[in-house]
Amino acid sequence: MKKFIPIPIVMLALLAMQACGPVLVSARLGDPPPPWFYPHRAETVRYVFFPDISIYYDLSTRTYIYLDGGIWVRHRELPSRYRSQDLNRYRYERIRNYYEDDIQRYHQENNANRGRSNKTVTRRSN
């Protein structure tokens, strides 16, 4: 006599397993994400932005992108001033719905004024 597992139980088990762990959807499945990147759900992102240090990371090319002397550069390593830093300690943001190669345009539209001090703003006294 065969034992049959009811279909609803199998469906519930599959749905439960789907939410069990993080899944990173990437074009290069053989390369694991950097140790500081821990996706909390299935999502497709290409860039991660570190607002405290104003550096992007491109998950598809495994490069850091940042301004160096007014020029956007891509390197596999962090700039020397941040190499001793632990990126796990920095806050980062996933850049959703932006997959183009030119991060400069995204930065100008979304992050160009972040982190600037308001000390240069003159205020009127009442």
List helix spans (H) across 19-123: 103-110
pLDDT at 122: 42
In a domain, 61, yes or no: yes
Q: Is residue 58 within 8 Å of residue 97, measured between CB atoms? A: no
In a domain, 118, yes or no: no
pLDDT at 24: 46
pTM comes to 0.60
Residue 34: pLDDT band (50, 70, 90) is confident
In the chain, how many domains are there? 1
Model confidence pLDDT, tens digit, residues 38-80: 665 556 889 999 999 999 999 999 999 999 988 999 999 999 9
pLDDT at 85: 87
Residue 24: exposure state from Cβ atoms within 10 A (0-12, 13-18, ≥19): middle
Model confidence pLDDT, tens digit, residues 73-118: 999 999 998 888 888 899 999 998 899 999 999 999 887 776 544 4
Question: Is the model's pLDDT at 20 over the cut of 90?
Answer: no
How far apart, in Å, are the Cα atoms of 16 and each of 11, 19, 84? 9, 6, 40
In a domain, 6, yes or no: no
Residue 113: exposure state from Cβ atoms within 10 A (0-12, 13-18, ≥19): exposed
Q: Which domain holds residue 77?
A: 17-110
In a domain, 2, yes or no: no
In a domain, 123, yes or no: no
